[in-house]
Amino acid sequence: VPLPTGLPDLARILRFGAGVIRSRTLPGGEMYHFRTYSSAGALYPVELYLACPELTDLSAGLYHFHPGELSLRRLRAGDVRANLAHAAADSALADARAVLLLSGIMWRSAWKYGARAYRHLFWDAGTMLANLLALAASEGLSRRLLTGFVDSELNHILGLDGDREAAIALLALGRAERAEQPSSLAPLELESVPLSRTEPVFEDARGLHAASVLASPEEVQSYRTAAPETLESGAEAGLEPLETVLRRRGSVREFSADPVPVDQLAATLALAAAPVPADVAPSNELYGIVNAVEGLESGVYRFEPPDVLELLRPGAFRLQAGYLVLEQYLGSLAAATFFLMTDLERVLETLGDRGYRATELEAGIRVGRIYLASYAQGLAATASTFYDDDVSSFLAPSLSPMLCAAVGFPA
Ligand SMILES: Cc1cc2nc3c(=O)[nH]c(=O)nc-3n(C[C@H](O)[C@H](O)[C@H](O)COP(=O)(O)O)c2cc1C
């Protein structure tokens, strides 16, 4: 079915949060499609589903979002929100107006990135979630992000095998009438068109995912460090209509040498560091290299929200910035290159192995917000991969880098 037109909020959120927005013909004649969020290598391993009660022009059900057609395909008829509430041990899901569900398909990134593709699922889900959260905020809808759920139960609802494709997060939006008791759901055995002749299996990545599965509602509850926080205000709303920002957004391929005003960098980092309405406490901090920011000495900085840029080490570090982002010159050219850094040991101690998913996802969301804030202010940005150990030793030896974004004016 087409996106529900009587509900501009959901149609807008899906289309501008996760749809295809640009297509380009490659030299060989192949058509390539780009989506509204950034994805490493443009490989888009994340799928998006929607569960809703009966709405004005959409019947109650579970749907898959088709990002190219901008349409929904119904996978299950009937309200599944009470089933979702059970799977995520969170009764608030039963009265959400809509629940968006994100899943990851490993091989789409793993053929290129190997086992490291495991973290790409959460990075890319994060950049998509940054869009979805900002759009929902601008619609005045409450947001509640859940990273803890009984994996097998949620995968069953979505019809996923949990191995080739697995659920990775739920986002509840707004409020509606509360769903009744969970219904018994038959296995979904739907066929989908294969996208590739073969699908390689990456045992290491598979093992990583299996290691952080939660097996019961009790395990979900003990994983949660706090009652899931619901964000009510429009804190993530942008400076101009988000459609305009999202149409302009892309990953910059060339920076100009012009310095960035310090208040623009600070506004970008403040949005990145703003609260995420998640079921676990935040774990990422921002450290970075400043090369060309008006009113700031060059050097290594730590950002303390809401607006303090603390100089840790003065110096000209353009070469190091380029080296740290896997020897890509965009890092050297950028006005500033910031890294989301986490005390991974502490995260794993507090949250168990599941904490790994949460902290990578949080970094993805914060980088997605760096994109939004940059493009809203006439700046440009690109996410980047990096040399893990070298970033740690250069910026903060006790922390591990989760993700990186370079910011500056576009050439
Ligand atoms: C997690 C992540 C890592 C990325 N790493 C790099 C990188 O190392 N170098 C780079 O030039 N672009 C990188 N990108 C940008 C992607 O290549 C880009 O998002 C993708 O090609 C889609 O294009 P678009 O962002 O312009 O829509 C990364 C993006 C993400 C989300």
Amino acid at 43: L
Measured from the CB, is residue 385 less than 6 Å from ligand 1? Answer: yes
For ligand 1, the distance from its centroid to the CA atom of residue 192, given in whole angstroms, is 27
CA distance 129 to 38: 11
For ligand 1, the distance from its centroid to the CA atom of residue 177, given in whole angstroms, is 40
Owner of token pair 């990075």: 123
CA distance 75 to 23: 28
CA distance 319 to 40: 23
Handedness of CA 82, 85, 86, 91 (dihedral sign): negative
Alpha helices in 77-226 (DSSP H): 81-87, 107-113, 117-138, 151-158, 203-211, 217-223
pLDDT digits (tens, 9 = 90+) for 176-192: 999 989 999 999 989 88
**Could you tell me the CA-to-CA distances from 100 to 10, 51, 237, 295, 318 in Å, in that order?**
10, 7, 19, 42, 41
Spell out the residues 6+ positions from residue 275 whose beta carbon is closer than 8 angstroms to its own: 229, 231, 235, 282
pLDDT of residue 300: 98
Q: Which of 409, 408, 400, 311 is nearest to 363 (CA)?
A: 400
What would you report as the CA-atom Rg of the chain, rounded to the nearest whole angstrom? 21
Amino acid at 37: Y
pLDDT digits (tens, 9 = 90+) for 278-331: 999 999 999 999 999 999 999 999 999 999 999 999 999 999 999 999 999 999
pLDDT digits (tens, 9 = 90+) for 59-92: 999 999 999 999 999 999 999 999 999 999 999 9
Closest residue CA from atom 17 of ligand 1: 41
CA distance 294 to 263: 9
Measured from the CB, is residue 111 less than 6 Å from ligand 1? Answer: no
pLDDT of residue 348: 96
Going by DSSP bridges, is the β-strand pair 284-290/293-294 parallel, antiparallel, or unpaired? unpaired
pLDDT of residue 230: 74
For ligand 1, the distance from its centroid to the CA atom of residue 270, given in whole angstroms, is 22
Is the pLDDT assigned to residue 392 strictly greater than 90?
A: yes
pLDDT digits (tens, 9 = 90+) for 87-140: 999 999 999 999 999 999 999 999 999 989 999 999 999 999 999 999 999 988
Q: Which of 331, 407, 335 is nearest to 367 (CA)?
A: 407
pLDDT of residue 37: 98
Measured from the CB, is residue 123 less than 6 Å from ligand 1? Answer: yes
Closest residue CA from atom 10 of ligand 1: 384
* Token code pair at residue 354: 């599941």
Judge residue 26's burial from the number of C-beta atoms within 10 Å of its C-beta, 0-12 exposed, 13-18 middle, 19 or more buried. exposed
* Token code pair at residue 386: 């990096």
Please say whether the beta carbons of 357 and 349 come within 8 A.
no
pLDDT of residue 5: 67
> What is the distance of C-alpha 19 from the center of its chain?
14
For ligand 1, the distance from its centroid to the CA atom of residue 369, given in whole angstroms, is 14
**Could you tell me the CA-to-CA distances from 208 to 86, 131, 162, 357, 365 in Å, in that order?**
25, 27, 13, 10, 21
pLDDT of residue 56: 87
Give the start-end residues of each E strand in 220-326: 260-261, 284-290, 293-294, 299-304, 308-314
Q: What band does 194 get if pLDDT is binned at 50, 70 and 90?
A: confident
CA distance 69 to 19: 8
Is the pLDDT assigned to residue 254 strictly greater than 90?
A: yes
Judge residue 20's burial from the number of C-beta atoms within 10 Å of its C-beta, 0-12 exposed, 13-18 middle, 19 or more buried. middle
Q: What band does 1 get if pLDDT is binned at 50, 70 and 90?
A: confident
- Determine what percent of the chain is predicted with pLDDT higher than 90: 87
For ligand 1, the distance from its centroid to the CA atom of residue 121, given in whole angstroms, is 13
Q: Strands across the sheet with 71-77, in order? A: 71-77, 61-66, 46-52, 96-105, 165-175, 143-146
Bridge partners for 400 per DSSP: 342
CA distance 386 to 94: 40
Please say whether the beta carbons of 90 and 221 come within 8 A.
no
- Residue range 341-364: mean pLDDT, rounded: 97
pLDDT digits (tens, 9 = 90+) for 195-230: 888 888 889 889 999 999 999 999 999 999 866 667
Measured from the CB, is residue 42 less than 6 Å from ligand 1? Answer: yes
Is the pLDDT assigned to residue 235 strictly greater than 60?
A: no
For ligand 1, the distance from its centroid to the CA atom of residue 194, given in whole angstroms, is 25
pLDDT of residue 191: 87
Bridge partners for 232 per DSSP: none
Measured from the CB, is residue 328 less than 6 Å from ligand 1? Answer: yes
Helices and strands: H and E segment counts in the chain: 14, 16
Q: 3-state class of 409 per DSSP?
A: coil
Measured from the CB, is residue 383 less than 6 Å from ligand 1? Answer: yes
CA distance 251 to 381: 6
